[in-house]
C-alpha cells in the first residue's frame, strides 16, 4: 500500500535508534498504508542519512504531503517489550484457566538498551581475551550478566520489573493478579528470553496447555524434550512470532500429584520458557499492529 490518501499520519520518534530502524523495516515488510510520515531523532543524529523505501531521507519523503493540524489524532502507549514477549504466551493460558500469580525471570538482550550498547558484547569479548575490556555503559557486558540497568525503586524492584507488574494487570484487566519479576541483562545481541511460572486457578493439564499455545496467534511451540530442543534467542531474532517451550509442571507446589502428562491430573503451577525479538515483535511490529487495528 505505502502512500495512500486515506491512510493515517505517522511519526517515528527516535528513528536512528534500534527500534526506529526496525519500525522502517516493518513498515516496508507489511506495506503499511500512510498519508504522510515524519522521521524524528535527537540532535545527536544531525546530519545522519537514513534509507527508507530504497531512498535516503529527505529524498524518500519527497512524495509525502504534510497535512494541516485540524485532523484528529490519538496517542496510544506501546506496551513494554519484556511484557509483550511474556504475555504473548501467558495470555492464551490465562484466558483458558485464570492465572492468579505469575513469577517472571527475564534474560534480556543488549539491543534492548539501544544502539550505543549493542556493540559492547562483541567488542568486549575480543578485548577480554587480548587486552582489558573497554569501558561499558553499565558493567562489563562481555562474559557477564547483571541486574537490568533500569532505576531501582525503594521497594527493591527496578523500573523494568514494575512495568511487567503494572502492564500485566492492565492487559488482563485484573488488578488482583499477583506478579513478581526479576530482570537480567545477558550478553545476547537480539531477543529476550523469559522463564514464566504460572499459578493457575482452575485445573489445566500439561497437554492442554501445549494445545492452547499451539493454537495461539503469534506463538510457535518449540518443545522437543527428547532432543533437548527448546526456544533460543537466535531462533527468534528478526522473527514476528514468539517461541515457547519447556512446558511442564512445577513440582515444588504443594498438592501436585507428581510429574505426569495424564490429562485429568491438576496442574496448580506451570512453567514455560519464552523467547521473542523484543525490537521487532516487542516494539516495532506491535506498534504497527496497533495502528493497523485502528485504521
pLDDT of residue 2: 60
pLDDT of residue 100: 94
Nearest to 106 by CA among 283, 278, 245, 280: 278
104 DSSP β-pair partners: 181, 196
Residue 195 preceded by cis peptide, ω within 30: no
Residue 218 CB-half CA count within 13 A: 21
Q: 105-119: b or e for each residue (b if 16 or more CB lie within 10 Å)?
A: ebbbbbbbbeeebbe
Cβ-based neighbour number of residue 170 at 10 Å: 12
What residue ranges define each of the domains in the chain, with the CATH number in brackets?
9-73 (3.40.50.720), 81-109+145-288 (3.30.360.10)
Catalytic residues: 81, 192
pLDDT of residue 257: 40
pLDDT of residue 69: 44
295 residues of the chain, pLDDT tens digit each: 466 677 777 777 767 666 677 777 777 777 777 777 777 666 666 566 666 666 557 454 455 444 444 445 555 567 788 999 999 999 999 999 999 999 999 999 887 555 555 666 667 666 766 666 666 666 777 778 999 989 999 999 999 999 999 999 998 989 999 999 999 999 888 899 999 999 998 888 899 999 999 999 999 999 999 999 999 999 999 898 999 999 998 888 655 443 333 333 344 689 999 999 988 775 666 666 666 665 5
Cβ-based neighbour number of residue 176 at 10 Å: 7
pLDDT of residue 281: 72
Taking the C-alpha atoms of residue 244 and residue 263, their distance in angstroms, rounded to an integer, is 20
Alpha-carbon Rg of the chain, whole angstroms?
A: 21
pLDDT of residue 94: 95
**Helix, strand or coil for residue 252?**
coil
Taking the C-alpha atoms of residue 240 and residue 243, their distance in angstroms, rounded to an integer, is 10
103 DSSP β-pair partners: 180, 197
- The reported pTM is 0.69
Question: Inter-axis angle of helices 81-96 and 159-172, to 10 degrees?
Answer: 40
Amino acid at each position: 500500500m505505502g502512500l495512500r490518501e486515506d491512510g493515517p499520519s505517522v511519526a517515528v520518534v527516535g528513528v536512528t535508534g534500534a527500534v526506529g530502524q526496525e519500525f522502517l523495516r516493518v513498515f516496508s515488510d507489511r506495506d503499511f498504508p500512510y498519508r504522510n510520515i515524519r522521521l524524528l531523532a535527537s540532535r545527536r543524529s544531525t546530519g545522519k542519512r537514513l534509507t527508507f523505501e530504497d531512498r535516503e531521507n529527505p529524498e524518500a519523503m519527497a512524495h509525502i504531503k504534510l497535512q494541516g493540524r485540524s485532523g484528529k489524532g490519538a496517542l496510544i502507549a506501546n506496551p513494554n517489550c519484556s511484557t509483550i514477549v511474556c504475555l504473548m504466551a501467558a495470555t492464551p493460558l490465562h484466558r483458558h484457566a485464570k492465572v492468579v500469580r505469575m513469577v517472571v525471570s527475564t534474560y534480556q538482550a543488549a539491543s534492548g538498551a539501544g544502539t550505543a550498547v549493542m556493540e559492547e558484547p562483541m567488542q568486549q569479548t575480543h578485548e577480554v581475551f587480548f587486552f582489558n575490556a573497554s569501558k561499558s555503559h553499565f558493567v562489563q557486558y562481555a562474559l557477564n550478566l547483571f541486574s537490568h540497568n533500569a532505576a531501582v525503586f525503594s521497594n527493591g524492584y527496578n523500573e523494568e520489573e514494575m512495568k511487567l507488574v503494572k502492564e500485566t494487570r492492565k492487559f488482563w484487566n485484573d488488578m488482583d493478579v499477583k506478579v513478581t519479576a526479576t530482570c537480567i541483562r545477558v550478553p545476547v545481541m537480539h531477543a529476550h528470553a523469559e522463564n514464566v511460572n504460572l499459578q493457575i486457578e482452575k485445573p489445566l493439564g500439561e497437554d492442554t496447555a501445549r494445545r492452547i499455545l499451539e493454537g495461539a496467534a503469534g506463538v510457535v511451540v518449540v518443545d522437543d524434550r527428547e532432543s533437548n530442543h527448546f526456544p533460543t534467542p537466535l531462533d527468534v531474532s528478526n522473527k514476528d512470532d514468539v517461541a515457547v517451550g519447556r512446558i511442564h509442571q512445577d513440582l515444588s507446589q504443594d498438592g501436585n500429584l507428581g510429574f505426569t502428562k495424564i490429562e485429568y491430573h491438576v496442574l496448580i503451577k506451570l512453567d514455560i520458557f519464552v523467547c521473542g525479538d523484543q525490537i521487532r515483535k516487542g516494539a516495532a511490529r506491535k506498534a504497527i499492529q496497533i495502528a493497523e487495528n485502528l485504521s
